[in-house]
Every structure is written in structure tokens, then in C-alpha cells.
């Protein structure tokens, strides 16, 4: 009974995580993406990539502060959704914005610093997504897996920096995300200093 309930909740969370993509697809079909639909798609996917990253980062602090253990079950899914939206975001830039013109894309990476920073963030997220399975946790061993997965913090900071660098006037949103990532990182550092490590749950 409990397993069934957990399965249902997990399916519900999964569907909720797909909502931003469904709304985006709906808006695209309905022509609700404004005068520059490609830019709107790239931006919206980027927004959700960073939001899911922050939500995934918040899972452990929420569990520790509230004692709500069940929330940890969704950490991997939320992290993978952050990666999923980040990959779609990059794909919209590479495929829709630049039509896979690799020469232009490379020139952009070198010339526009915020693109370089975004690329670094994706490169840091990649090994985390690849090693997110229970099998990889076993293969790497809990300690090494945990160390590797600390990369999520620099990835989060680079994603915030990427956003901050591309904004031209209104810095409120990137600054808010930066403050949240900073607070979550601060919480983890303080916690690591005062508590013993726990076993890894994949
Ligand atoms: C190769 C990697 C990446 C590339 C090429 C890239 C490219 C872009 C581009 C072209 C924009 C739109 C800029 C504009 O409007 O002029 C953008 C915006 C954005 N990107 Fe990325 N990005 C990358 C990685 C990431 C990652 C990893 C994240 C988050 C996890 C992210 C989050 C965002 C956010 C939040 C925005 C701003 C959206 C808004 O204006 O509301 N990006 N990115």
C-alpha cells in the first residue's frame, strides 16, 4: 500500500516537472511566444534549468531542517530534470538559434563570456547526470560519489553567473538565484563542519 502511494506520488512529481515543457510547447503551438519565439524558447528552458537546479539543491537542507525524510526520494529526479532542461536549453541554442553551424557556435563560445560560463556549467552537470544511478553510486563508492556530486554547487554558481552576465538591465532575478544558491551552499558548509557524513542514498 505504502509502495503504491509512493509510486503514485513519484509519478505525480514527474508530471509536475514536465509541466513547464508542456506549457512551452502549448505556447509555441498557440503562437504565444512573442516576436522572437526562438529566444523565448531558449530563455524559458534556461529559466527552468536553473530553477530545477536550485530546487534539487534545496532538497537536503529541507529534509534536515524539517525532518521530512520522504523528500529525499525526489532529489535524483529533480536533479535529472535540471539537467534535462539545461540540455534542451543548449539544444535550442545550438539547433534553433544557430542551425548547428558549429563554426559560429565555437566563435560565440570564445567571444561571449556568458556562453563560455554556461558551457562550463553544463560540463559540470554532465558527470553528475551520468553517475546518478544506484549502480554508479555502488561502483564509485559513497565517499567518492558524494565528493563528485559536490560539483553541483560550482555548477549552480556558474549557472547564476551565466544568467547575471547576460542580463543587461534588471539584475533582480539572477541576484535572487545567486542569494539562494549562496545560502544553500553556506548551509551545507556549516552542516558539514558540525555533523558526521551520512550514507549515500541513490
Ligand atoms: C552550453 C551551455 C549554454 C549555452 C550555450 C547557453 C545559452 C544561452 C543563451 C543564448 C541565452 C539567451 C541569451 C539572450 O537572451 O540573449 C541563455 C539564457 C539563459 N540561460 Fe543559458 N546557456 C547554457 C547553459 C546554461 C545552463 C547550464 C543554465 C542553467 C542551469 C542556463 C540558464 C540560463 C538562464 C537562466 C538564462 C536566462 C533566461 C532569461 O533571460 O530569463 N544556461 N543561455
Residue whose entry in the numeric block shows the C-alpha cell 531558449: 42
- For 149-201, write each residue's pLDDT tens digit: 999 999 999 999 999 999 999 999 999 999 999 999 999 999 888 876 666 65
What is the signed CA dihedral for 157, 160, 161, 166, rounded to 10 degrees?
170
Q: What is the pTM of this model?
A: 0.94
Cβ of residue 89 lying under 6 Å from some atom of ligand 1: yes
Are 79 and 59 contacting, i.e. CB atoms less than 8 angstroms apart? Answer: no
Are 121 and 162 contacting, i.e. CB atoms less than 8 angstroms apart? Answer: yes
Name the closest-CA residue to atom 20, ligand 1.
46
The CB-based long-range contact list for 183-187 (8 Å cut-off, 24+ gap) reads: 184/54, 184/57, 184/58, 184/61, 184/153, 184/156, 185/153, 185/156, 185/157, 187/61
End-to-end CA distance of the chain: 22
pLDDT at 199: 62
What is the signed CA dihedral for 177, 60, 129, 15, rounded to 10 degrees?
-80
pLDDT at 202: 55
pLDDT at 112: 97
In the reported structure, the alpha carbon of residue 178 is separated from the centroid of ligand 1 by a whole-number distance in angstroms of: 15
Q: Rounded to whole angstroms, how far apart are CA atoms 78 and 86?
A: 12
Q: Identify which of 85, 117, 166, 181 to mutate to test ligand 1's pocket (most ligand atoms within 8 A of the CB).
A: 166
Cβ of residue 81 lying under 6 Å from some atom of ligand 1: no
DSSP code for 31: T
Q: Identify which of 87, 95, 118, 176 to mutate to test ligand 1's pocket (most ligand atoms within 8 A of the CB).
A: 118
pLDDT at 197: 62
Q: Identify which of 35, 40, 45, 46 to mutate to test ligand 1's pocket (most ligand atoms within 8 A of the CB).
A: 46
Name the closest-CA residue to atom 23, ligand 1.
118
Cβ of residue 96 lying under 6 Å from some atom of ligand 1: no
Where the chain has pLDDT below 70, the residues are 196-202
Quickly list DSSP for 68-132: -GGGGGGHHHHHHHHHHHHHHHHHIIIIIITTT-HHHHHHHHHH-HHHHHHHHHHHHHHHHHHT-
Residue whose entry in the numeric block shows the C-alpha cell 545560502: 183
Grid cell for residue 55: 530546487
Cβ of residue 108 lying under 6 Å from some atom of ligand 1: no
Cβ of residue 115 lying under 6 Å from some atom of ligand 1: yes
Amino acid at each position: 500500500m505504502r509502495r503504491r502511494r509512493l509510486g503514485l506520488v513519484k509519478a505525480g512529481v514527474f508530471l509536475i516537472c514536465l509541466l513547464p515543457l508542456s506549457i512551452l510547447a502549448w505556447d509555441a503551438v498557440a503562437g504565444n511566444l512573442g516576436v522572437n519565439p526562438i529566444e523565448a524558447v531558449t530563455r524559458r528552458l534556461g529559466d527552468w534549468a536553473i530553477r530545477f537546479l536550485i530546487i534539487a539543491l534545496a532538497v537536503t537542507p529541507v529534509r534536515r531542517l524539517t525532518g521530512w525524510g520522504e523528500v529525499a526520494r525526489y532529489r535524483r529526479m529533480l536533479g535529472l530534470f535540471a539537467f534535462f532542461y539545461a540540455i534542451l536549453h543548449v539544444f535550442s541554442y545550438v539547433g534553433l538559434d544557430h542551425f548547428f553551424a558549429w563554426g559560429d557556435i565555437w566563435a560565440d563560445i570564445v567571444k561571449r563570456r556568458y556562453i563560455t560560463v554556461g558551457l562550463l556549467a553544463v560540463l559540470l552537470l554532465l558527470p553528475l547526470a551520468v553517475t546518478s544511478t544506484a549502480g554508479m553510486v555502488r561502483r564509485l563508492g559513497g565517499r567518492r560519489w558524494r565528493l563528485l556530486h559536490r560539483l553541483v554547487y560550482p555548477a549552480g554558481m556558474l549557472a547564476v553567473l551565466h544568467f547575471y552576465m547576460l542580463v543587461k538591465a534588471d539584475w533582480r532575478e539572477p541576484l535572487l538565484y545567486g542569494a539562494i544558491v549562496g545560502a544553500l551552499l553556506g548551509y551545507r558548509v556549516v552542516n558539514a563542519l558540525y555533523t558526521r557524513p551520512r550514507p549515500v542514498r541513490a
